[in-house]
Structure 1
């Protein structure tokens, strides 16, 4: 039969071991902490990196994944009617706000690089909805804006460019301004 012996350390030894434990704890907790890099607009590129960003009303706006059941955050379509559609979502549960943000740009007659006027309601619609704003019953009016396409490559399905616009929701009179917008996208892409 084996016997179990327990060695009880005296008070003085116990105090030293507690001091040793506390010193180790302090040393381990003093590791250099790095601050995460704050989010920023994506670089202006023309490689089909599937990036999108802008400032909306002066606040940085980047797409993030939507809710779990529908995880898409960015969709780009270009069809045979020469219509370009860019739709982006941002999940506000990250920021603690309610609802999701949406930015959508639809423009017809895109045939190549150049600057396109976004105030032409006959061929353009732009949409910004932040959080739990009510969705407009009518298409918002673009009061000023332009979209410049710097790369339009049908062979590689890449569209890149920059944009800025101001819209007014005709139902609620809410005005939103998108500035310093940039995108580098692949056609027919959703992620």
Structure 2
């Protein structure tokens, strides 16, 4: 009888040892296939776009992401959008002129009013209430980088990684966005 109890105890112990995923392990793998995956850590917590409810106007994407590459007066701009309808937050990344892989700095003042004439920037928004959304931007005191590791204008795929600090537009609050990754069709 004792061998059966030992075996049962061993099985129960083994099944109880399921390892919880770390926040970093909750993010999708960094790929370069146009999979539509993209996510990041927001203040150390996994932030993943929703799988649905994305409004897609003029770009490729769905399921919480959008990538748009288009000609402007200043070059060929790239816009990346990550949206999370469930908690009404989102991240927009704008690069004014992208023609190849490389690293782009977020260290200049951006203004929504400048449109296509903006420098590269990241903008995190929180719309948790019906009132005006809270906006957090990169700039001279809240910097970051984005590295494009694949930029394929034939297959229409853009992939890469990013990290940034975003500061509230009208206050001192900041947030850390780390381990960002994206693999979007455009």
In the superposition, the TM-score normalised over structure 2's length comes to 0.69
After superposition, residues 54-73 of structure 1 pair within 5 angstroms as 54-65=40-51, 67=53, 72-73=63-64
Task: Tell me if 1:182 matches 2:181.
Answer: yes
Give the CA deviation at 1:130.
Answer: 3.6
- Asked whether 1:140 is paired with 2:128, we answer no
Q: CA deviation at 1:116?
A: 0.6
| Residues 92-120 of structure 1: per-residue CA shift (max 9 Å, x gap) | 3xxxxxx4111111111111101011113
The TM-score normalised by the length of structure 1 is: 0.67
Aligned equivalent of 2:70, options 75, 79, 84: 79
Aligned CA distance change for structure 1 residues 108 and 175 (closer, same or farther; 3 Å): same
Per-residue deviation, residues 59-99 of structure 1 (Å, max 9, x unmatched):
1011014559998511110012311111111133xxxxxx4
Higher strand share: 2
Matching of residue 104 in structure 1 with residue 103 in structure 2: no
Give the number of the structure whose alpha-carbon radius of gyration is greater.
1
Over 3 Å off, 4+ runs:
65-72
The 5 A counterparts of 1:161-180 are 161-180=160-179
Greater mean deviation of Cα atoms: 59-68 or 81-90: 59-68
Listed as ranges, the gaps of 5+ residues in structure 1 are: 1-31, 93-98
Distance 1:119 1:152, change over 3 A: same
